[in-house]
Amino acid sequence: MHSSLNDHPTVAIVLSTYNGEVYIGEQLDSLLAQTYPYWRCYIRDDGSKDNSIAIIKSYAAKDPRFTFIEDQIGNLGVVQAYFHLFNQVPEDYISPCDQDDVWREDKLERSLTLIRNIETNQKMPALVHTDSSFVDSHLNIIRERFIGKRGQKKGLSGIIIANSVQGGSILFNSALNNQSKKISAKLPYDYHLGMIAELTGARGFIADTMLQYRQHNTSSIALGDAEIEKKADHSFSVTLQVSLSNYPHVKHDFNALTWTETAKKQVADYLYLFEG
């Protein structure tokens, strides 16, 4: 357990971009405004046809904390692109970043403080996630809280049912990253990082909204907060549904991980969802 940030660990912020020229500047500006300045942002473009790369390079030219990763791999798709980035960074703490969100200025500082309080040592997988506000393309608030009460659920119920771990909100340590390398890149990274942290280490939640989660299509979010919470509490998360459709990969990957006896029982119960 760490009581302060006096040693200033560097956080790797990883960002995959794709045709993000309209909003990426706002996100990069929000990184520059962070109260915790010890970070490096690794950005890889996934085949944009717009001006995204030029914008990224302009930020990298102004601030050496931005690193643009150029390769000849081509388009990987959003899930594989982030798993690829996780494998590229040497830092002890990693925070995925979405190109069209906007971070609150104390997001990194508060997330890092919490994760260092819940990890007993850096060999223990740990993850912190936060709430976010739902906004439209102009950052007008659609819903004050995207996660809400779901984030307070303890144990696997906070992940398996109505997943509360939102990719753009998380920060995790290198121990969890090492475990994630055993997970198929076909599976949603936020959901499975949350699962592994819950079963093998620690997961913490910040109830405050630490980012603005931008949505460009409001047709699917017309329900009110109470109705959304009620619906979420009685339905499987979308990411679980994706995992169900990829069951052979899920079984292979989760059986490849090292579990305690208690966790093995929980994993067996989890896999029963796919087979029952």
Task: Indicate the length of the chain as a whole number.
Answer: 276
Please check the confidence at residue 101 and state whether its pLDDT lies above 90. yes
**Helical ranges in 126-237 per DSSP H:** 157-160, 174-180, 189-200, 225-233
pLDDT tens, 30-74?
999 999 999 999 999 999 999 999 999 999 999 999 999 999 898
Mean pLDDT of the chain: 82
Burial 109-142 (b: 16+ CB within 10 A, else e): bbbbbbbbebbeeeeebbbbbbbbbbbeeeeeee
Q: Which of 84-93, 159-168, 177-186, 240-249 has the highest mean pLDDT?
A: 84-93
Domain spans of the chain, in order of start? 11-275
Cα gap 166→20, rounded to integer Å: 20
The pLDDT of residue 80:
87
Please check the confidence at residue 104 and state whether its pLDDT lies above 80. yes
What CATH number was assigned to the domain covering residues 11-275? 3.90.550.10
- The answer to pTM > 0.85 is no
**Mean per-residue pLDDT for 158-182?**
82
Cα gap 6→38, rounded to integer Å: 11
Please check the confidence at residue 3 and state whether its pLDDT lies above 50. no
